[in-house]
A and B are shown apart, each in its own frame.
Chain A
Amino acid sequence: MSNNKVSRRQFLSYTLTGVGGFMAAGMLMPMVRFAIDPVLQKSEGGDFVLTEKKIADITEIPERVDFTFEQVDAWYKSDITNAAWVYKEGDQVIALSPVCKHLGCTVNWEGDPAHKNQFFCPCHAGRYEKNGQNVPKTPPLGPLDQFEIRENDGFLEIGKAIPNTLV
C-alpha cells in the first residue's frame, strides 16, 4: 500500500464516488426514515376500557363482553368495538381475546355443537380449551391471548392483550 502511488484517476474516482455517495445518502436518508416511520413508532400502553359488565354478574361460563374505545389511526379517529370472552375461575376473573391464533378470525364459545366446553373458530375449525389452550391437531399453534383486567366500581375494565398466563 505505502509504495503504491495513488494515481490521479484513482484519487478522482474515489473522491467523486465518496462525495456523490454522501450526497445521495443525504437525499435518501430522510425519505427512507420517513417511509419506515410506522415500524419505529412506539406503541402506546393500552388504556383500560370500561365495560357495562358487572363483576358480580360474571359466571363460570364464558360470555362475550363488548367494549368500545376511540382508536386513533394516524389522522383518522374512530370508535372501535372489540369483544372478550369473560368468565370466572373461582374468584379470579378471566378475559380471553377472541382472536384466533391461526389466522385472526373470531372464535366462539361452543361454536361447534360437536365440541362442548371449547372455543371454536369457524374459519378452519380451530379449537381451544376453556383456558385458551389450543387443542392439538387443530390449526392454531398457540393459546388465545388474555386481556389485562381490573375492577372499577363493580364494573369490569379491559386493558391490552397479553400472552396467555393460564396455560
Chain B
Amino acid sequence: MLNKIYDWVDERLDITPIWRDIADHEVPEHVNPAHHFSAFVYCFGGLTFFITVIQILSGMFLTMYYVPDIENAWESVFYLQNEVAFGEIVRGMHHWGASLVIVMMFLHTLRVFFTGSYKKPRELNWMVGVLIFAVMLGLGFTGYLLPWDMKALFATKVGIEIAASVPFIGGMIKTLLAGDEHIIGAQTLTRFFAIHVFFLPAALFGLLAAHFIMIRRQGISGPL
C-alpha cells in the first residue's frame, strides 16, 4: 500500500534522488559508535537537533493554551499544567528540554573544539554554530520570562540590567528589550513572547539550514 503510493508519486515527481541526497550517505568508520564506541561523541550534534525538534513541537502545542498577557499568563500556565491532560508532561518536555538543549549544544561544541573540526575549510560552519549558540541562549532567556512568576520576573530584571550595562548604548538596549524605559511589564512580556516564538525560531531555522548544508557539502572531518 505505502509502496504503491510512493511509486505513484515517484513516477510523476522522481523524488528518489531528492531523499537519497538527504538521507543516503556513508557514515565514516571513525564517527560510527559501532566501530569505536568512543565515537558516540559525534552524536552530540544530532542529539542537539533531536531535542530542538522536541522543543519546537512541544512549544507549538503549549501556545494552544498560553496567553502572553500579564493578567493571564500565569493563570494560563497554571491551567495548562494542572487542568489539561498531559499538561505537566508537555510543559515538562519544554522546560527540561530547554536546559538539555544547552547542555547537548555545549558538549557538541566541545567535541568540535577538541577534534579540531573547526579548522580550515570548516571555519564558516564554526561561525554559524556560534551564532546558533547565541540564538539558543536568546531563546532560553526570552522563554524564561513567559510563565510570568516571581522567578521569571526577577531573572528578567537582572538579565535586562546586565544588557543595560553595555557602554553607551546600554540604556537603549534596555528600552528595546523591555519596551519601556522603567517598567518590566505588559510590553516586556509581549515582546519576549514575539521574540521567543517568531523572531528567534526564524533565525534558528535559517542558521540550522546553513549549518546542515555546509556539513553535507564539506563532509565530516577526518579521524584524529
Given contacts A74-B79, A75-B75, A76-B72, contact A34 B57 (CB under 8 A): no
Which residues on A sit within 8 Å (CB–CB) of B72?
75-76
Residue in A27, A37, A75, A76 whose CB lies within 8 Å of B85: A37
B180 vs chain A, min Cβ distance (A): 26
Evaluate contact between B86 and A75: CB separation under 8 angstroms: no
Q: Which of B61, B65, B78 is close to A31, meaning CB atoms less than 8 Å apart? A: B61
Per DSSP, chain A at the interface is helix
| Chain B residue with Cβ nearest A32 | B61
Q: How far is the CA of A27 from the CA of B76 in the complex (A)?
A: 23
Asked if B87 is at the interface (CB within 8 A of a chain A CB), the reply is yes
For the complex, give the distance between the alpha carbons of A30 and B75 in Å. 21
Q: What is the interface residue range for chain B against chain A?
A: 20 to 34
Residue of A27, A33, A37 near B57 (CB, 8 A) is A27
User: Would you call B58 an interface residue if the criterion is a C-beta within 8 Å of the partner chain's C-beta atoms?
Assistant: yes
**Contacting B78 at CB < 8 Å: which of A27, A30, A75?**
A75
Task: Give every chain A residue within 8 A of B75 (Cβ-Cβ).
Answer: 75-76
Contacts known (A30-B86, A30-B89, A74-B83); A35 close to B64, Cβ less than 8 A: yes
- Is residue A114 within 8 Å, beta carbon to beta carbon, of the partner chain? no
A31-B86 in contact (CB<8A): yes
In angstroms, how far is the closest chain B Cβ from the Cβ of A124? 33
Chain B residues with CB under 8 A of A37:
84-87
Do A30 and B76 touch (CB < 8 A)? no
Q: Report if B90 contacts A (CB, 8 A).
A: yes
For B66-97 the 0/1 string (1 means CB < 8 A from A) is 00000010011011100111110110010000
Residues on A with beta carbons closer than 8 Å to the beta carbon of B102: none
Q: Does B214 contact A (CB under 8 A)?
A: no
User: Is there contact, CB below 8 Å, between A31 and B83?
Assistant: no
Q: Would you mind naming 19 contact pairs between A and B with Cβ atoms under 8 Å apart?
A: A28-B57, A30-B86, A30-B89, A30-B90, A31-B61, A31-B93, A33-B85, A33-B86, A34-B61, A34-B80, A34-B84, A35-B61, A35-B64, A37-B84, A74-B65, A74-B76, A75-B75, A75-B76, A75-B78
